[in-house]
Chains A and B, each alone.
Chain A
Amino acid sequence: MDSYYVATFYSTNYALKCERLLKNKDIDIKLIPVPRQVSSNCGLAARLTPQNLPDFMELYKEGLVEVEGLYSVEQEGKKLSFTLLEQE
């Protein structure tokens, strides 16, 4: 079983800002199209590994990144299950 996190944003610019702030900390997150299982105002989402999550949460708590929703994703074979962790 594979697990990761997906963050959604209000705008592409927020997604790009989040990517840049994490990159500045040498953390590579991947921007992806929003998975169909979740709805979002913006077409871009960020995919985070469990290792990335603490740094991401730090930026989020400091108010430096604005997030629409944060989901944990469990992947078993072809099946993905999304759990909402945080919502603005």
Chain B
Amino acid sequence: MFHYMDNAATSFPKPEEVLAVMEHFFNNTGGNPGRSGHRLSLKSGEIVYETRDLLAQLFNIEDPLQIVFTLNATMAMNMALSGLLKPGDHVITSSLEHNSLARPLRYMETKGVEITRISCSPPDFQISLEELEQSIQKNTRLIALMHGSNVTGTIFPLKEIGKIAKKHSLYFMVDAAQTAGAYPIDVQREGIHMLAFTGHKGLFGPQGTGGLYIDPRLKIESFIRGGTGSLSEEDRQPDFMPDVLESGTPNAMGLAGLSAGVKYILKEGIDKIRGKEEELTFFLLKGLKEIDGIKVFGEESVKRRMPIISFLVDGVSPSTVGEILDDEYNILVRVGLHCSPWAHESMGTIPEGTVRVSLSYFNTEKQVDNLIKALKEIVKEEVETS
């Protein structure tokens, strides 16, 4: 048996209902959602609609049709940025962002969009709200930030940032890739105008599912146009949501799976999921602290961080630690830069990166224990490290 501890990359295992629902779709539903009038197309459309409805419940979104489905969070953020920003606009972001936000922003910079990065420094890598507010300019249009960091585990205070956005009449976009399903998110309470999420991490759906919520007062331009099953006699794109941004046949079977993932979260309760993950994080942090020769990054309080922990082992490179854990102990973690050069720059861990352990609701205390034991042996060089 192996211990899977790379849930920040993609969650594994998933609740068994997820496969059951997809299998049912494969064997019984099959139709193209919302395209034809027959019962299987209708059924498929209902399943996709139900997925929207469940996500709307989870994020407290008033109208499920304000959710656009995409392949993943990356596509959602590209859609949001390219549909909203014009040359001359200014965007405020953080120095922890994943490449899925950093790269589209860097690209838009070449098209005349201005960017300010707020630094997030050790020990907790938290964002400074004063600095954020002070960096607002006349042409600032958008604050675009992650909710939870995939490298340091930092959780940004969305409600406070949302207040700043509101006070200065700015749009607020959140990358919830690491927190959706694992930490409460309420788009109304937090003043979020755009929420990008991916289906395959904390939401327990399959890969190839994700989406973007857009505030109804906000109109963004589509970067993809095509068939929607609506206004078929028109050769122009419909202007209503979600069709304006959702062209082509969606991943209906994947979305069926995602609906089962979200249902599972709603049934278990997000507080219970979060509680278990906090407990596991507590054990992990405690265990790591007891080992001389391990440097842990980020916030110490489990209340203020995700179950994502980066660390370094004295004298052993992260890639070697990852290899030993995989080969000798059957423990699967991710090492390196985690698609996040900005974050590792902030941590001073370029170019080798760190070892990252990311836990989920399905990990156990025993597994965390085994990881700590393994690391103790690695530090004491009881296993070959070169």
Contact = CB atoms under 8 A, between A and B. Distances in A.
Interface stretch (B151-159, B225-233, B296-304): B225-233
B243 A13 contact: yes
A13 B42 contact: no
Contacts of A41: 230-233
B37 A44 contact: yes
B113 to A, nearest CB: 32
A41 to B, nearest CB: 5
A16 B230 contact: no
A33 to B, nearest CB: 4
A16 B231 contact: no
Contacts of B50: 20
Contacts of B33: 12
A34 B230 CA distance: 13
Contact of A16 (B35, B38, B45, B240): B45
Interface string A11-50: 1111011011000000000011110000001111000000
Given A11-B238, A12-B34, A19 B46 contact: yes
B240 A10 contact: yes
A12 B230 contact: yes
A12 B34 CA distance: 6
Interface residues of A, number: 17
Given A16-B49, A17-B64, A44-B42, A11 B37 contact: no
B15 interface: no
Contacts of B46: 16, 19
B275 interface: no
B235 to A, nearest CB: 14
Contacts of B238: 10-11
A14 B64 CA distance: 10
A66 to B, nearest CB: 8
B374 interface: no
Contact of A12 (B45, B53, B64, B233): B45
Contact of B229 (A11, A17, A19, A32): A11
**Quick one: which of B33, B35, B37 has the most chain A CB within 10 A?**
B37
A13 B287 CA distance: 51
**Quick one: which of B38, B233, B240 has the most chain A CB within 10 A?**
B240
Given A20-B49, A20-B50, A13 B37 contact: no
Nearest to B38: A33
Given A11-B228, A42-B230, A16 B37 contact: no
Contacts of A33: 37-38
Nearest to A9: B230
Given A10-B238, A11-B243, 12 more contacts: A10-B230, A11-B231, A11-B240, A12-B45, A13-B230, A13-B242, A13-B243, A16-B34, A20-B49, A20-B50, A41-B231, A41-B233
Interface of B: 33-38, 42, 45-46, 49-50, 53, 64-65, 228-233, 238, 240, 242-243
